Each structure stands twice: as C-alpha cells, then as structure tokens.
Amino acid sequence: MIKHLETIQKIKQAIDEAKNILAITHQKPDGDGLGAICALASYLTSLRKNYQLFCLDPVPDSGIFLPLAHQITADRSVFNNQYDLIIILDSGDLQHAGIDQLLENYKHQYTLVNIDHHITNQGYGDLNLVLAEKSSVSEIVYNLFHIWHFPICKEVATALLNGIIFDTGAFSNAATSLSSLEAASHLLNLGARHKEINESQIRNKSLGLLKLWGRAFERLTYNPHYDLAFTVITQQDIKECQASPEATEGIANFFNELAGAKIALVLKEEPDGQIKGSLRTTYDDIDVGQLAKNWGGGGHKKAAGFSVKGRLVYNENRWKIV
C-alpha cells in the first residue's frame, strides 16, 4: 500500500471536501461489493457526510444482514441528484457496474473514484486505487481504514470480513493470501460475527438452489482437448426449480475442484437476453482473465467472467449459443 499512499491521501481529501457523495457497487451484487459499500457507508456516517448508496440490482437475501445494507437503493432516480464525488467499488469497468449510460447522461461536475482489485480494471476514474494483489475490495477498504485511523467496530468488521470470506471462497481459492488471513484475523478479534457470515454465505442453500445445482451437475461435461469442465443453466431451469437469480453463485468455484480439469466454465442465461460466463482455474500458467477479455469481460487471473448476447440451445447432442 505504501506506493499508493499519494492516491490514498487524495481519495481521503476528496471525501473530506465532498458535500454530497454517491457510492456504487456493481450490478448483481456479491458479498465483497456489499461488504465494502456497507463498511464505506459506516465511515461516511462517522464523518457526517451526505451520501447515497446505489446498486443497479436489489440486495440479495444473503446480504441484508450487513450494516446499512437497507440504505442501498436500485432506484435510478438517485442520478437526478447532484454529487461532487462518486465512488465505485469492485467494478473493473463502468459496464460491470451497470452505470455506463447513467454516468454518460449525468450533467453535473464530479470527481470519480475507482477502488477495485480486478487485474483487468480499465482505470476509468479520476482517482484509481486498483490493487490486484488484494483478495477483495473489502480487504482494500480495511487497509484504507487503517491508514485513515478509522476505528473499526463490530458491525464494520462483520461487513469487511463478509467480503473477504466471499472473494476467497472461505479461504479456499487462489485469492487467499497472507494479507487476507491477517486482515480476517484482526477483524475476528474486533468482533466480526463469523457465525452469521457463515450462515448467510454457506448454510443458505434452499431446495430450489439444490435442484438447480442438480441440473448443472447433470449437464457437466469434460472436454479433454481443452482440459475444460463446463455446464449450462437456462432461464427455464431457474423457473422450473423455483430458484432465486443468485442461486448459481458458487457453481463455477465448485466445479473448479474437478480433478483433471484446468478450467471450469459455467454459462447461464440471464433474463435480459444475455448469457453470463463464469471462468475459474487453479493453474498458475492459465489466465482466465485474459480469456474473458476475448468476450468483452475481465476479472482476475484465476477467476473471471463475461457476458454475450444470445440464448442457450441444445441441438445435435451439444449446447450452442444462438
């Protein structure tokens, strides 16, 4: 973090001088983005700042226990307000955040702060703090609070630990590092509610979710030529299993443990006519982030994603995107 101190201090100055702040995390919010934005909201509250929290999609059930999560709105009318500072968390680009068009049409002058850990981040902010070596944006925010001498209470510790646990797969994937383990240890010592996080992220499998995962298992295919394990999930599957939209989260991570496969790929139909691809690997010589960029996506070296237009069709004993 030392080499980024100048940027960190500029971000702190921008927050201190701002009169109205909009904080944003990416669409289809996950445990890291939610943990980071809720922790940041607590910090802004301590400074008595006027702020609003935005996400293009509603907070999922797994995130409603987080402090100040109830303040996050999906109402686009927040962009009718005037902000002098906009902070985007956990988004490699404005498209991932889901606000590219909203910002393009925004008429007010503002400073844009980009805080992220994706190696494919496009550096789209006026101030960019992109630390690809960190496990999560929540870990970055944890470090910021340490530098800014913000005392972390139990609620904030819970939000930050939630993000670190989510993006490290409960300390099981390649994002796990010494710094993430040290941060988690400190947050636990500060009173983070690990049991509640565990119940929210791990012990939260509904019947519909398990049925949906069953279909993903049934279709799991291994391609020895590419050392690729892949499966598909359609919108019809989600409806028939009565599963929630976020029920597919974690499938790619699970299939990444398949012996012999170097890459795991999950293709999922979205309601808007897009197909979301999730890529995972555990191999150091493979960069799925670069693979995802070929389809307009991005992410990390060992965990990435992309979206393409189309729908999934099973024809001639194979799945196709049409």
**Domain 2-201 fold:** inorganic pyrophosphatase (n-terminal core) (3.90.1640)
Q: From CA 279, how far away is CA 38, in angstroms rounded?
A: 27
Q: Where are the domains of the chain?
A: 2-201, 207-321
Residue 170 has pLDDT above 90, yes or no: no
Residue 72 has pLDDT above 80, yes or no: yes
pLDDT value, residue 299: 87
Residue 1 has pLDDT above 80, yes or no: no
What tens digit of pLDDT does each residue of 184-199 get?
A: 999 999 999 999 999 8
What tens digit of pLDDT does each residue of 277-292 get?
A: 999 998 889 999 999 9
SS3 annotation, the chain: CHHHHHHHHHHHHHHHHCCEEEEEECCCCCHHHHHHHHHHHHHHHHCCCEEEEECCCCCCHHHCCCCCHHHEECCHHHHHCCCCEEEEECCCCHHHHCCHHHHHCCCCCCEEEEEECCCCCCCCCCEEEECCCCCCHHHHHHHHHHHCCCCCCHHHHHHHHHHHHHHCCCCCCCCCCHHHHHHHHHHHHCCCCHHHHHHHHCCCCCHHHHHHHHHHHHHCEEECCCCEEEEEECHHHHHHHCCCHHHHCCHHHHHCCCCCCCEEEEEEECCCCEEEEEEECCCCCCCHHHHHHCCCCEECCCEEEEEEECCEEEECCEEEEC
Mean pLDDT, rounded, for 214-240:
94
> Comparing 8-12, 150-154, 312-316, which segment has the lowest mean pLDDT?
312-316
pLDDT value, residue 159: 98
Does domain 207-321 fall under CATH 3.10.310.30? My reply is yes
pLDDT value, residue 3: 84
Residue 244 has pLDDT above 90, yes or no: no
Percent of the chain surpassing pLDDT 90: 77
pLDDT value, residue 236: 95
pLDDT value, residue 111: 98
- Please, what is the average pLDDT of the chain? 94
Report the range out of 11-20, 218-227, 308-317 with the highest average pLDDT: 11-20
pLDDT value, residue 169: 86
Mean pLDDT, rounded, for 157-170:
95
- Rounded to two decimals, the pTM is 0.84
pLDDT value, residue 16: 98
> Comparing 140-149, 177-186, 240-249, which segment has the lowest mean pLDDT?
240-249
Would 2-201 and 207-321 be classified into the same CATH topology?
Answer: no
